[in-house]
Amino acid sequence: NSKLIVCTYPQTTFSEAMAYGIPTILIYDPNYNENHKEAQDLVNKLKDAKIIFNDPVKAANHVNFYWNKIDEWWTSRDVVLAKNFFYKTALRLNSNWKKEWKIFIKNELNKHVKKT
């Protein structure tokens, strides 16, 4: 039921929020979080779309500007293109991703039950 998710660590929580399609921003200091060279193009696209911020003041200004019209930003062409690039390169989700995870978790649980 969140209007906007603000993440401060570029890992699972950020990916989960993006996967669910909830408006999301990531604020992080690159000095404390390693950027892999392979991911730099993705990071740049997400920064350009105002999804990733390294400056919390700029992030706050962005949120304040769009707060009453968050979907205007989240569904804008540049943001949709950046999100799709994220889905393709970082998540590799297909339309049945929830079903695939459900099957995977069920199989893992079954393996655990069989061992005990």
Residue 22 CB contacts under 8 Å (≥ 6 apart), including other chains: 2, 4, 5
pLDDT tens digit sequence for 36-74: 677 788 999 999 999 999 999 999 999 999 999 999 999
Longest Cα–Cα distance of the chain, Å, equals 55
Query: Would you say residue 76 has pLDDT above 90?
Result: yes
pTM of whole model > 0.95? no
How far is residue 94's CA from residue 114's CA, in Å, rounded to a whole number? 30
Residue 74 CB contacts under 8 Å (≥ 6 apart), including other chains: 23
Interval 99-107 mean pLDDT: 85
Query: Does 104 or 31 have the greater pLDDT score?
Result: 104
* DSSP letter string, 22-81: --EEEE--TTTSPPPGGGHHHHHHHHHTTSEES-HHHHHHHHHHHGGGHHHHHTSHHHHH
- How many other β-carbons are positioned within 10 Å of the β-carbon of residue 113? 8
